[in-house]
Amino acid sequence: MVRNVAIVEDTQTEADTLSQYFLKYSAEKGIEFRVTHFMSAEEFLNKYHPIYDIVLMDIGLPKANGMEAATRLRELDWTTILIFVTNMAQFAVRGYEVGAFDFIVKPISYSNFALKLQRALTKLNSRRDTEVILSASDGIYRVSSSQIKYIEISDHKLIYHTTDGTIKIYGNLKEVESSLNSKMFVRCNSCYLVNLNYVYAIRNYIVVVGEDELQISRPRKKAFIQAVNDYLGGGI
């Protein structure tokens, strides 16, 4: 599997160092990376597509700094693993506000880079995919968990909202919840089990999942937001 990486860094020499570190790590571990360098936040965010597994973001960027850019990034993509690269560690610790996974302090050593990258890859690998078999009235469906955006319970029926449409079956949401990855699928209220990979935004008591807006219950809000942060890797 190729891992897509974005380096957002306005200093070419430091971007080159990071690129060389990815090449070295790739040679050592046999993991392939597709690395793209952006000189500014504007260049990175313009026509952004959520294709990056990992984003390395300098905080001291011109115009829009790294924290501002990260805030805009999270409006577009909740799932990419964000690592700040900075000589301003006092600002990097605020990374929890934008679901940052970690930060690397400049000047960057390869040993520290490799340690943080390994942690990020472990987090990515933990987002494992599973397969479920659904017996509906019109047939049997084999569905990958990565295709499920959220599951809704309504009138004793489970409605699977997937990338290919909806599937309705009889079932129990609690049983489904126990069978799926508990770090990836989390309830926002008693009626919805959400795949955090499809969370686009959280606004007050609304979570946007794909193109749908779902209600977050007051008792579950804190735990749900914490689950989103943990899923993104907010270990700072």
Q: Tell me, what's the pLDDT at 75?
A: 83
Q: Tell me, what's the pLDDT at 65?
A: 84
Last residue of one domain, picked from the residues 126, 152, 185 = 126
Statement to judge: residues 115 and 222 lie in one domain: no
pLDDT in tens, 197-236: 899 889 999 999 988 999 999 999 999 999 998 887 655 5
Statement to judge: residues 195 and 116 lie in one domain: no
Per-residue confidence at 74, pLDDT binned at 50, 70, 90?
Answer: confident
Range of the domain at 48: 2-126
Statement to judge: residues 156 and 117 lie in one domain: no
Statement to judge: residues 139 and 107 lie in one domain: no
What CATH number is given to the structural domain containing 184?
Answer: 2.40.50.1020
Statement to judge: residues 96 and 143 lie in one domain: no
Q: Which residues contact 150 (CB under 8 A, 6 or more apart)?
A: 161, 192, 193, 194, 195, 198, 209, 212, 214
Statement to judge: residues 156 and 41 lie in one domain: no
Statement to judge: residues 82 and 194 lie in one domain: no
Using the predicted structure, report yes or no on whether residue 21 has a pLDDT greater than 90: yes
Statement to judge: residues 156 and 106 lie in one domain: no
Statement to judge: residues 9 and 118 lie in one domain: yes
Last residue of one domain, picked from the residues 101, 126, 151 = 126
Statement to judge: residues 141 and 64 lie in one domain: no
Domain count, the chain: 2
Q: How far apart are CA 211 and CA 92, in angstroms?
A: 31
pLDDT in tens, 101-153: 999 999 999 999 999 999 999 988 877 677 788 999 888 898 888 899 999 99
Last residue of one domain, picked from the residues 96, 111, 126 = 126
Q: How far apart are CA 20 and CA 7, in angstroms?
A: 12
Q: Tell me, what's the pLDDT at 32?
A: 96
